[in-house]
């Protein structure tokens, strides 16, 4: 003889996305609370076990944005931005 209890349940989630313009159609968008400036990595490699760029990204303070295709003079090979 086998005795047991079995229950099958499903779960559903819903998300609602709202736009600022839906509530305030005539108002300009409010400013962001943080300035999102891109920073380039230094163009020279500093000798050592790890580059300062790798340490900053691994620390979570900055995130990779994209490669810098116009590397001239003092600009570095890629862009990073401060994490919010």
Is the per-residue pLDDT at 56 higher than 60?
yes
Q: What does the angle CA 54 – CA 57 – CA 62 come to, to the nearest 5 degrees?
A: 140
Is the per-residue pLDDT at 44 higher than 60?
no
DSSP codes of every residue in 47-63? PSSS-HHHHHHHHTSEE
Cα(11)–Cα(15) distance, rounded to whole angstroms? 14
pLDDT of residue 71: 65
Residue that wins the pLDDT comparison between 25 and 13: 25
Q: What is the pLDDT of residues 62-75, one digit of tens each?
A: 888 888 777 666 66
Is the per-residue pLDDT at 2 higher than 70?
no
Is the per-residue pLDDT at 43 higher than 60?
no
pLDDT of residue 75: 67
- Structural contact between residues 78 and 43, judged by C-beta atoms closer than 8 angstroms: no
Q: What mean pLDDT, rounded, does the chain reach?
A: 76
């Amino acid at each position: 003889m086998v005795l047991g209890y079995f229950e099958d349940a499903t779960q559903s989630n819903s998300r609602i996305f709202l736009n600022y313009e839906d509530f305030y159609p005539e108002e300009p968008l409010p400013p962001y609370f943080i300035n999102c400036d891109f920073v380039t990595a230094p163009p020279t490699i500093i000798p050592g076990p790890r580059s300062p760029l790798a340490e900053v990204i691994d620390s979570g303070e900055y995130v990779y944005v994209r490669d810098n295709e116009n590397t001239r003079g003092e600009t570095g090979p890629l862009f990073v931005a401060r994490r919010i």
